[in-house]
């Protein structure tokens, strides 16, 4: 056995805070650091983020030497030490989650918190992993594409977001065969069922609603075995929720590492938590804080309703990006004559990457189908909103 070399990517904290805490993200077997692309931007607002590739995955160097999950965990600590060391939060999917459990057991003084996503204290059967290792050595990782597409994604995801699915499966095809097989053998020897009760870290166990590889029952058992751990299930996700529901995963991790609690342990479901994260990202903290401060007993249920369903169920869906959703929202608001809401969503559209010219063009296009008076009023709202933004920018620069 030998300790493998793990190559990592580090995202600096966007706020520039010198004391920003580090979050380390571990991948699933057959995936690369790209697994976390949709999650990292939200985490990096106030944290440093380190992602690593498994041996022979992505830009991780291939290996022919056997290793254990415990040795992978030790290599994670080495990677953290290479960028300054210290304590860190850890979240991992599947094999990445197994690495997290070993970190919590072997290096408890280094971890601030642990999130185990679609993983378990023992994943699958030892014989099953040994058979997969033999299959990959005989036929290559390309032979795993069909099975992985069925395990990784919830029903309908590949149709809703074919780009994300095909990119993930293409990366699997480029994984080094022997390194993949050695990862399978490491999982064959992994079983910490009798040890996880010794973990004394804030721990979150996350399952996917449609995950067959590590079903929710396994995550519930794990949460019960780890003192104080909480468990939550992400709807409309299977084995790789970081690909399928990145907004939900990001919001769960941010709540967990901040110590503010998690859905399943509190009163809100993952849809509400995801909705609040998306609502803040699109509309801005100032707007959401003002709306929250204005909540009364009479409006509380409605505010929860729109956060949960409009922002958590619709805006957080993977089928359309936020830029496209902003186009549709502006067109819908113009058509309905909802000028009060339109100003808010003109600002949101700018946040989501639309230009002023594109916003005006969207309103022009809607004029043909919604009527000239509605478009004329909408252009006036957009003009006034742009003017307010410019005035605020001039005031800040003076």
Query: Would you place residue 8 in the very low, low, confident or very high pLDDT band (cuts 50, 70, 90)?
Result: very high
Name every residue whose Cβ is closer than 8 Å to that of residue 267 and which is 6 or more positions away in sequence. Answer: none
pLDDT recorded at residue 19:
87
Q: How far is CA 39 from the centre of its chain?
A: 4
Output the average pLDDT for the chain.
89
pLDDT recorded at residue 1:
61
Name every residue whose Cβ is closer than 8 Å to that of residue 223 and which is 6 or more positions away in sequence. Answer: 203, 205, 229, 230, 231
62-106: per-residue pLDDT in tens?
A: 999 999 999 999 999 999 999 999 999 999 999 999 999 999 999
Q: In angstroms, rounded to a whole number, what is the distance separating the alpha carbons of residues 11 and 51? A: 8
Tell me the three-class secondary structure of the chain, residue by residue.
CCCCCCCEEEECCCCCCCCCCEEEEECCCCCCHHHHCCCHHHHCCCCEEEEECCCCCCCCCCCCCCCCHHHHHHHHHHHHHCCCCCCEEEEEECHHHHHHHHHHHHCCCCEEEEEEECCCCCCCCHHHHHHHHHHHHHHCHHHHHHHHHHHHCCCCHHHHCHHHHHHHHHHHHCCCHHHHHHHHHHHHCCCCCCCHHHCCCCEEEEEECCCCCCCHHHHHHHHHHCCCCEEEEECCCCCCHHHHCHHHHHHHHHHHHHCCCCCCCCCCCHHHHHHHHHHHHHHCHHHHHHHHHCCCCCCHHHHHHHHHHHHHHHCCCCCCCHHHHHHHHHHHHHHHCCHHHHHHHHHHHHHCCCCHHHHHHHHHHHHHHHCHHHHHHHHHHHHHHHHHHHHHHHHHHC
Among residues of the chain, what percentage have pLDDT more than 70?
96
For residues 271 and 312, the answer to whether their CB atoms sit within 8 Å is: yes
pTM: 0.72
Query: Would you place residue 301 in the very low, low, confident or very high pLDDT band (cuts 50, 70, 90)?
Result: confident
User: Which residue, among 198, 188, 43, 73, has the nearest Cα to 126 in the 3D structure?
Assistant: 188
105-156: per-residue pLDDT in tens?
A: 999 999 999 999 999 999 999 999 999 999 999 999 988 888 888 889 988 8
Q: Give the domains, in start order, of the chain with CATH numbers.
A: 8-264 (3.40.50.1820), 274-314 (no CATH), 322-397 (1.20.1290.10)
260-284: per-residue pLDDT in tens?
A: 655 443 334 457 777 887 888 888 8
Average pLDDT of 297-310?
Answer: 84
Question: Which range scores top for mean pLDDT: 19-28, 312-321, 370-379?
Answer: 19-28
pLDDT recorded at residue 258:
83
Residues counted in the chain = 398
Check pLDDT > 80 for residue 299.
Answer: yes
Residue 321 or residue 325, greater confidence: 325
Q: In angstroms, rounded to a whole number, what is the distance separating the alpha carbons of residues 391 and 65? A: 62
Query: Would you place residue 294 in the very low, low, confident or very high pLDDT band (cuts 50, 70, 90)?
Result: confident
344-385: per-residue pLDDT in tens?
A: 999 999 988 899 999 999 999 998 988 888 889 889 999 999
Query: Would you place residue 312 in the very low, low, confident or very high pLDDT band (cuts 50, 70, 90)?
Result: confident
Name every residue whose Cβ is closer than 8 Å to that of residue 290 and which is 6 or more positions away in sequence. Answer: none
pLDDT recorded at residue 265:
37
Residue written as token pair 């999982």: 187
Q: In angstroms, rounded to a whole number, what is the distance separating the alpha carbons of residues 318 and 329? A: 16
Q: In angstroms, rounded to a whole number, what is the distance separating the alpha carbons of residues 9 and 354? A: 29
Sheet of strand 8-11, all strands in order from the earlier edge strand to the far edge: 8-11, 48-52, 22-26, 88-93, 111-117, 203-208, 230-234
With both helix axes pointing from N to C terminus, report the angle between 95-106 and 69-81 in degrees, rounded to the nearest 10.
70
For residues 72 and 169, the answer to whether their CB atoms sit within 8 Å is: no
């Amino acid at each position: 056995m030998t300790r493998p070399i793990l190559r990592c990517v580090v995202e600096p904290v966007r706020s520039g805070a010198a004391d920003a805490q580090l979050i380390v993200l571990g991948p699933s077997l057959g995936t690369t650091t790209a697994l976390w692309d949709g999650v990292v931007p939200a985490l990096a607002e106030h944290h440093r983020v380190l992602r690593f590739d498994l041996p022979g995955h992505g830009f991780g160097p291939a290996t022919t030497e056997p290793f254990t999950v415990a040795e992978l965990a030790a290599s994670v600590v080495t990677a953290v030490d290479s960028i300054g060391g210290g304590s860190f939060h850890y979240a991992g999917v599947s094999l990445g989650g197994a690495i997290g459990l070993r970190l919590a057991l072997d290096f408890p003084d280094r971890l601030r918190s642990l999130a185990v996503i679609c993983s378990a204290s023992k994943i699958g059967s030892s014989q099953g992993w040994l058979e997969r290792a033999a299959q990959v050595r005989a036929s290559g990782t390309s032979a795993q594409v069909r099975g992985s597409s069925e395990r990784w994604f919830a029903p309908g995801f590949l149709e809703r977001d074919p780009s994300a699915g095909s990119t993930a499966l293409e990366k699997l095809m480029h994984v080094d065969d022997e390194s993949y097989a050695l990862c399978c053998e490491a999982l064959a020897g992994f079983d910490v069922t009798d040890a996880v009760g010794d973990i004394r870290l804030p721990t979150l166990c996350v399952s996917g609603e449609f995950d067959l590889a590590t079903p929710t029952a396994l995550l519930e058992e794990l949460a019960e075995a780890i003192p104080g751990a909480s468990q939550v299930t992400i709807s409309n996700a299977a084995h790789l929720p970081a690909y399928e529901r990145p907004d939900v995963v990001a919001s769960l991790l941010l709540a967990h590492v901040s110590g503010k609690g998690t859905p399943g342990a509190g009163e809100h479901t993952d849809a509400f938590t995801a909705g609040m994260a998306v609502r803040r990202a699109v509309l801005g903290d100032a707007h959401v804080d003002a709306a929250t401060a204005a909540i009364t007993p009479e409006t509380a249920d409605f505010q929860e309703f729109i956060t949960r369903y409009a922002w958590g169920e619709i805006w957080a869906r993977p089928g359309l990006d936020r830029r496209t959703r902003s186009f549709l929202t502006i067109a819908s608001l113009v058509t309905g004559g909802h000028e009060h809401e339109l100003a808010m969503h003109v600002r949101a559209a700018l946040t989501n990457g639309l230009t002023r010219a594109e916003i005006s063009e969207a309103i022009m296009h809607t004029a043909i189908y919604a009527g000239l008076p509605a478009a004329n009023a909408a252009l006036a709202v957009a003009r006034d909103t742009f003017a307010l933004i410019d005035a605020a920018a001039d005031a800040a620069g003076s």
